Chain A
Amino acid sequence: MSTPDSHHQADEVGSATRALDRELRRLRIPRTRRSALVEEVRADLRDAAGDGLTPEALLGDVATFAREAVSARGWTPRPRDWRSATTTAVTVGVVALAVGYLLLLEVLNPLMSEWIDLTQRYPVAGPLLTYAALALIGIAGALAGFARSLSGRPAARTSVTRATALLPVAAALGVGAAMLFGRAWDYSTSLPVVLIEVALVALPCAGSLWLARWWGLRSSAVPAAPPVSAG
């Protein structure tokens, strides 16, 4: 016979398994695998409820439980977070670049020029160092935004490590392409030309971040270890 207590327990189990299903869906685990895992856990939660244990006591944090169960089985989680992570990274990178520009060229440069007279003595090294520093600031900002956006998600660290290698290459290629394009248009500052130059830099950067996330998730999926030899 069902009692109010058993109804309450069934509600708790139902709510916990729905939360687990949501987490697995968020990790983009295929439906058949998801259903099998949720069914197993549901049966265990029912047994535990019979012993007076709540789903929370058994599972702890559902997101962590889902991640660990998925990782232990060697399934590859494919969360749909690359778009938000890439958008955050590019935005933070642009902001860092703007702040760096203001700091280096509008504040530090006049200050240094006032204190130290290097006019005409370093015609190439000075601008080169300034632009290299600006690029580093932008890349560091983008990587910080990428890492912050992926914090607590599967394969976050691996994805950021991959991005650290890929983003500078993509940025260098993008800047090179933008410079060639600018020269072809006689360094025009018309809006369409500037927008295309920005796109030539931003698109490879965004692509490299997407690639880093895909690669990070793929390499963090552990292949099944061979069984222990029977010999």
Chain B
Amino acid sequence: MTPDPDRRTQLLRGVLDTCLLALLARTPTHAYDLVVQLERHGIEGVGYGTVYPLMGRLRRQGLVDEQAEPSPSGPPRKVFSVSAAGRAALAEWAAQWDATTSSVRTLLITADALPDPEVAPHVHS
């Protein structure tokens, strides 16, 4: 069965702000570069039309700061970075994501929906 892209988008929706904060915590940058970085990390199909408004929300929530940075090709450019509150939120959300995915993974393994990595795969001769 081919993966359902809508379902993947729904799964990503709740964790996209965490991903953006994580990327910004490593390197302050602007919205388009975040879209490019998401793609590089295999998170495709999240467009600028989603990322840019989300950056607006993170700014409004005080999780992201902005600074003007000189640009070689025009006027100074706004670059986003994670604020102190953003770092706290990132730590909290990353831990929450880890706990949630661990629980779901354990459930799926227990229910035999996923292979158990502890059990060595049986080799057929």
Contacts and interface: CB of A to CB of B under 8 A. Distances in A.
A159 B100 CA distance: 38
Nearest to B73: A46
B30 A43 contact: yes
A44 interface: yes
B56 A69 contact: yes
B88 A228 contact: yes
A48 B32 contact: yes
Query: Which size bracket describes the interface of B in this complex?
Result: 20 to 34
Interface in A148-195: none
A65 B60 contact: no
B63 to A, nearest CB: 6
A43 B74 contact: yes
Interface stretch (A70-78, A111-119, A123-131): A70-78
Contact of B60 (A44, A45, A224, A229): A224
A81 interface: no
Nearest to B61: A225
Interface in B55-104: 55-57, 59-63, 71, 73-75, 77-78, 83-86, 88-89, 92-93
Nearest to A36: B78
A202 interface: no
Given A60-B47, A228-B88, 9 more contacts: A40-B78, A43-B77, A51-B36, A58-B32, A74-B60, A224-B61, A225-B61, A226-B62, A230-B88
A44 B31 contact: yes
Contact of B71 (A43, A71, A73): A43
Interface in B1-45: 30-33, 36
A43 B77 CA distance: 7
The 9 closest A-B pairs by CB, nearest first: A44-B32, A72-B53, A227-B85, A228-B89, A72-B56, A230-B88, A227-B62, A73-B56, A68-B53
Interface of B: 30-33, 36, 47-49, 52-57, 59-63, 71, 73-75, 77-78, 83-86, 88-89, 92-93
A74 B60 CA distance: 7
Contact of B88 (A40, A51, A225, A229): A229
Interface of A: 39-41, 43-48, 51, 58-60, 64-65, 68-69, 71-74, 224-231
Contacts of A40: 30-31, 78
10 contacts: A44-B30, A45-B32, A48-B32, A58-B49, A60-B47, A60-B49, A65-B49, A69-B56, A227-B86, A228-B93
A22 B75 CA distance: 22
A45 B52 CA distance: 12
A227 B53 CA distance: 17
A51 B86 CA distance: 30
A127 B49 CA distance: 56
B80 to A, nearest CB: 10
A200 to B, nearest CB: 45
